[in-house]
Amino acid sequence: MSETTAAKIPVTVLTGYLGAGKTTLLNRILSENHGKKYAVIVNEFGEIGIDNDLIIGADEEVFEMNNGCVCCTVRGDLVRILDGLMKRKGKFDAIILETTGLADPAPVAQTFFVDEDVQLHTRLDAVVTVADAKWLSERLKDAPEAKNQIAFADVIVLNKIDLVSKPELAEVEARIRAINPYAKLHRTERAQVKLSDVLEQGAFDLDRILEIEPEFLEAGDAHDHDHHGHDHHHGHDHGGVKHYHDEDMQSLSLRTDKALDPTTFLPWLQGLVAAEGGKMLRSKGIVSFVNDAERYVFQGVHMMLEGDHQRPWKDGEKRESRLVFIGRDLPEQAIRDGFANVIPA
């Protein structure tokens, strides 16, 4: 699959709650001198003042797939637009899709998983979520869309940090990490992020998924280093569910250094996402299998899961399996027990 990836046109999904700064970021991407041409899919014309790029209006039409699963949805308008844009392949290098502030990123991501024609010609590069440092904590309490956008993000642009104090910033970052520990996070004012930090991320590319996330699942450990002077959390559960009392969304991470057996691990994983698909927003993992020289990588959106061998384990590389699940009201103990059951004795 990696051979064809290069020829596919990358699509960056730009999301974020109303007023977070999506359009500011989009304007920067389009006006900066980067020598690339973008096709831009937006909901509202006129918001962005550019002339030369290919701009298409979208409807955000969400279709249920007829497999009896209500969480399996695709963006019908996106299928249509991407199909049409492929006629003009060669006129642009990449596609940027700006969603409305209230949009759920799941149907967008799933479109790239399930639609054969979309898969053939394009690849989802990353979901980039712009978050408002000042108001995100409030939105996480009252707006499920804002939570979904954080949960789905591969890259989070935490904007307007000039409007908050240091403790407020730490608080909002902790909230983000409680939901999504593996997204790359950039702190910005006026969406002044390096474009190389948001574009060409390859976050949905199984071959690159972990190359660009060297600290995959390390984030939870990493920020403990700031805790000098705080109470020590002896015995606190590394990689466990971190709850805020008002949060129904959380991440759960698992790891083991025992090589797993694909004949028991994969059915468990598939069963888990099938059973919890509605609540399971995203899943990602890197797996070390018994007698397997290559790393196995998977990722999923709701019930949809894809996985493949990625590359050989490097000499001296720690062979361990690391998984993360992000979802709503996930049955943590049952998942931990299930995982424990598939770890060979």
- Positions touching other proteins (CB under 8 A) are 56-57, 59, 61, 63-66, 74, 76-77, 79-80, 84-85, 87-89, 116-117
Q: How many CB atoms lie within 10 A of CB 74?
A: 23
Cα-flanking dihedrals φ and ψ of residue 284, to 5°?
-150, 155
Nearer to other proteins, 90 or 229 (CB): 90
Taking the complex as a whole, the smallest distance from the CB of residue 93 to other proteins amounts, in Å, to 17
Beta strands 321-328 and 249-256, pairing class: antiparallel
Beta strands 73-75 and 94-98, pairing class: unpaired
Taking the complex as a whole, the smallest distance from the CB of residue 60 to other proteins amounts, in Å, to 11
Per-residue burial over 38-63, b if 16 or more Cβ lie within 10 Å, else e, is: bbbbbbeeeebeeeeeebbebebebe
DSSP letters spanning 278-317: TTEEEEEEEEPBTT-SEEEEEEEETTEEEEEEEEEPPTT-
Taking the complex as a whole, the smallest distance from the CB of residue 200 to other proteins amounts, in Å, to 25
For the record, the structure tokens of 200 come out as 């060409």
Nearer to other proteins, 33 or 67 (CB): 67
Q: Which of 160, 165, 62, 154 lies closest to 114 in space, CA to CA? A: 62
CA distance 31 to 232: 47
Residue that has been written with the tokens 């009896």 in this structure: 68
Nearer to other proteins, 64 or 248 (CB): 64
Do the beta carbons of residue 9 and residue 95 sit within 8 Å?
A: yes
Q: Which of 114, 106, 108 lies closest to 96 in space, CA to CA? A: 108
For the record, the structure tokens of 13 come out as 């999904």
Do the beta carbons of residue 63 and residue 110 sit within 8 Å?
A: no
Q: Let me know if 133 is exposed, middle or buried by CB neighbors in 10 A (0-12, 13-18, 19+).
A: buried
Give the side-chain half-sphere CA count within 13 A for 245. Answer: 0
Taking the complex as a whole, the smallest distance from the CB of residue 66 to other proteins amounts, in Å, to 5
Nearer to other proteins, 57 or 312 (CB): 57
Nearer to other proteins, 47 or 215 (CB): 47
Taking the complex as a whole, the smallest distance from the CB of residue 80 to other proteins amounts, in Å, to 7
Do the beta carbons of residue 23 and residue 40 sit within 8 Å?
A: no
Taking the complex as a whole, the smallest distance from the CB of residue 239 to other proteins amounts, in Å, to 39
Taking the complex as a whole, the smallest distance from the CB of residue 62 to other proteins amounts, in Å, to 9
Nearer to other proteins, 63 or 268 (CB): 63
Nearer to other proteins, 112 or 296 (CB): 112
Nearer to other proteins, 78 or 323 (CB): 78
Nearer to other proteins, 83 or 197 (CB): 83
Taking the complex as a whole, the smallest distance from the CB of residue 304 to other proteins amounts, in Å, to 15
Taking the complex as a whole, the smallest distance from the CB of residue 85 to other proteins amounts, in Å, to 8
